[in-house]
Structure 1
Amino acid sequence: MINKILLADSGTGHSEEMLKVLMEIPPLRNANVTVLHVVPSQITTDVMTEKWEEGGKILANAIQNLNLDPNLVTAMLRQGDPKDTVCKVAEEIDADLIIMGSRGLKRLVSILENSVSQYVFQLSSRPMLLVKDDLYAVRHIQRVMVAMDKSDSASQSLKLALFLLRDVKDGQIILVHVNPDLSGKSGTTLSSTEAERDPVLAPAIAEAKRMGVGYKCVVTSGKPGEEICRLSEEMHIDLLMLGSPDRRPSIARGLPDLDRLLGTSLSDYVRVHANCPVLLARTNA
């Protein structure tokens, strides 16, 4: 399911470290990786030349640091607006996954500060793995949490998680269903045995059993974003996955989704507040 990975490398943060961890997972070891660095256009030729040289060094260091099979890695240096260039290159190489660093900016701040990751999250239809720059250390992936509901994007998220974990020794998928209670009051978390009777989790459990992946179930209530982030921290999750449905009609794919821009969607809340890497799956991935 993941054969082509695009790493948008700014030279800072933990995105390279995240890719190294991902490439340890058996199904991804033969994936083709494109490491992209974008040089923004500059006012003068001298400054442009300097930034171009800096970009080349960032790419060279990244390739050396990643230490992947040279036949599977492509270094790409582009000039332009980073936001648009990342989206364009993802389409060019038909990426199955985009990995980016993120400052974890909240709501309108990310728009006003011209956040690259927020823009790509808005306008790309491809799965994205967002790695915040400073709030946590990247860990080897064994415990993957999937936020489940009845949506197609959640089903896609489940499939992707099982794909990643199917050959990971002692890997475990944590299936979470939060019954929304927008008053903010958290409900009692059910035991795994009780949770297995949950109609949302039952099909996911059957699929995990079929794939031979160890699992644990959690059913609780409260504000979904807050509950998911709380559970991911309490359970020491290595990777958090949830569906991010593409709600834009085809006629308006070039326009941002206002709910996400304003920070009111579940995926946007988790993107900002989770203390672990977040992979946002798409229904058309």
Structure 2
Amino acid sequence: MIEKILIGVAGRGLCEQMLKMLMEIPSIQKASVTVLHVVPEQVSADAMAAKLEEGGKILAEAIQTLNLDPKKVTARLKQGDPKTTVCEIAEEINADLIIMGSRGLGRLQSILENSVSQYVFQLTSRPMLLVKDDIYVKRIKSIMVAMNKSESAQNCLKLALFLLRDIKGGQLVLSHVNPPDPTAKPEADPVLAAAVAEAKKYGVATRCITAKGKAGEEICRIAEESNVDLLMLGSPDRRPSIAKSFVDLDRLLGNSLSDYVRVYANCPVLLARSVAEA
């Protein structure tokens, strides 16, 4: 399911750490990796040359850190707007997963500060793994999926099981905020029960948690209290096909569960989409 990975590197090293943890998972070890560094346009040729040289060093250090089979790694040093270039390269290589760093900026702040990861998240339909600057990247053994009836949540479940099925001692934490019957035991919740049944097919251990309250806050709380290594969240794209090239203003302005979790979760966050057509 994950055969091609695009990782954007900027010299901070967290994305490289995240990918190294992922590459320890048997189901991902055969994936090819494109390591991308984008150099923005500069005011002069000399400045551009200096930035390209610096970018080359960043790429070399990232590849050395990753220490992967050279046959599976492609280095890309590109010149242009980082926001659009990441999207273009992801389409070009047909990436199954994009890994990017995130400063964890608030919603409006990320717009004003021209956040690359926020922009890419708006425009890509591909699963995207965000690694904030202030988190500790751990070996992946426990994955939480925020469940509901949406297609994007089901996509997250499938991806989590793809990763966990070959992890010895791995655990899938299934959460459902504001279920129809909050007084029922979590295992009796229909959404979680269906997910548990699917996990049993792969021999993956599960833990079910329900909660009541604001979805974003509860998801972040459950992830922290469960000490999960990775949080997966569905993020349906509500825009019609004709508007796919435009940023979702509702999401940018803060009316988005995925945006809240992106900012406040204390672990890496993987966002998966289901695309709604017109």
Which of the five TM-score ranges fits, normalised by the shorter chain?
over 0.9
Name 2:30's counterpart in structure 1: 30
One-letter amino acid of the structure 1 residue matched with residue 90 of structure 2:
A
Aligned residue pair count: 275
Name the CA shift for 1:49/1:189 in 2 (closer, same or farther; >3 Å). Answer: farther
Q: Which residue of 2 aligns with 1:162?
A: 161
Confirm or deny: 8 A CA contact 1:13 1:132 kept in the other structure.
Answer: no
Contact 1:101 1:131 in 2 (8 A): yes
Q: Is 1:261 aligned to 2:252, yes or no?
A: yes
* In 1: Cα distance, 2:183 partner to 2:189 partner: 12
- The residue number in structure 2 matching 1:5 is 5
Q: 2:100 is matched with which residue?
A: 100
Q: Which residue of 2 aligns with 1:208?
A: 199
Q: Is the 8 A contact 2:13 2:62 kept in 1?
A: no
Does residue 46 of the first structure (1) align with residue 46 of the second (2)? yes
SS at 1:95's partner residue? coil
TM-score by length of 2: 0.96
Task: Output one character per residue of 1:215-271: Cα deviation in whole Å (capped at 9) or x when no partner.
Answer: 000011110100000011111110000111111111001111111111221100000
Q: C-alpha displacement at 1:189, in angstroms?
A: 8.4
- The whole-number CA distance in structure 2 between the counterparts of 1:123 and 1:139 is 28
Partner of 2:122: 122
**Helix, strand or coil at the partner of 1:241:** strand
Runs of 4+ that moved beyond 6 A: 187-190
Distance 2:23 2:67 in 1: 10
Identical aligned residues as a percent: 69
Residue pair 2:2, 2:28 contacting (<8 A) in 1 also: yes
Match of 1:89 in 2: 89
SS in structure 2 at match of 1:272:
helix
Gaps of 5+ in 2: none
Superposition RMSD on alpha carbons, in Å? 1.5
* Contiguous gaps of at least 5 residues in structure 1: 182-186
What's the offset of the Cα at 1:71?
A: 0.5
The residue that corresponds to 1:79 in the other structure is 79
Secondary structure of the residue aligned to 2:190 is coil
Note the C-alpha offset of 1:13: 4.8
Shift of the alpha carbon at 1:164? 0.4
